[in-house]
Amino acid sequence: MEDLKYVMYIGAKPEKVWEAFVSPEGVKALFFGCRLESTFEVGAPYRYVGPGNDGDETVHVYGEVLAFEPGRIMSYTEHAGPSYRENHAELETRVTLTLEEVGGCTKLTLVNDRWPDSHPSYENTKESWPMILSNAKSYVETGKTLDFGW
């Protein structure tokens, strides 16, 4: 399976973009009402928890923090939550978010790689990352997220 790679430019400094991905308000806005639970130390677990199949405490994705340098890079393993896939523990990918200052804006690069063959969430993930990243751009630049009609 091909790596998923997205690059976009956001009209703000990296620190502001970073806050959108880790602050409680930003996470809730970008990740459809979820909260991010982690100490963010390398090797620590993390979970995106929020409204879903199991109510407000649905674990959407979880994994382990691989790298965390505020304002610059966040990398983690990713598993679909237990309510999505029975074999969720076996279905691991890696996500790496990198921020670089370019003039007065931020270059955001997201790579979701290490896909096991025939991963059942690949197509959904391929569609959801552009929505999340577009939401991030809109949220950081305007303070509002996009209306996807849900």
Indicate the pTM of the whole model.
0.94
What single string gives the DSSP state of each residue in 99-112?
EEEETTEEEEEEEE
Tally of residues, the chain: 150
CB 119 within 8 A of CB 91: yes
pLDDT in tens, 32-64: 899 999 999 999 999 999 998 888 899 999 999
Task: Give the mean pLDDT of 72-95.
Answer: 95
For residue 93, how far is the Cα from the chain centroid? 12
How many Å apart are CA 131 and CA 4, to the nearest integer? 14
Task: Give the mean pLDDT of 12-37.
Answer: 96
Residue 129: which residues within 8 A CB-CB, separation 6 or more?
Answer: 4, 6, 110, 112
Banded pLDDT at 117 (limits 50, 70, 90) = very high
Domains defined along the chain, listed by start = 4-142 (3.30.530.20)
Beta strands 45-52 and 55-69 are antiparallel
**Quick one: tokens of 89?**
């523990």
CA angle 57, 114, 53 (to 5 degrees): 20
- In eight-state DSSP terms, residue 86 is T
CA angle 94, 138, 61 (to 5 degrees): 30
Q: Would you state the pLDDT for residue 142?
A: 97
Q: Would you state the pLDDT for residue 139?
A: 97
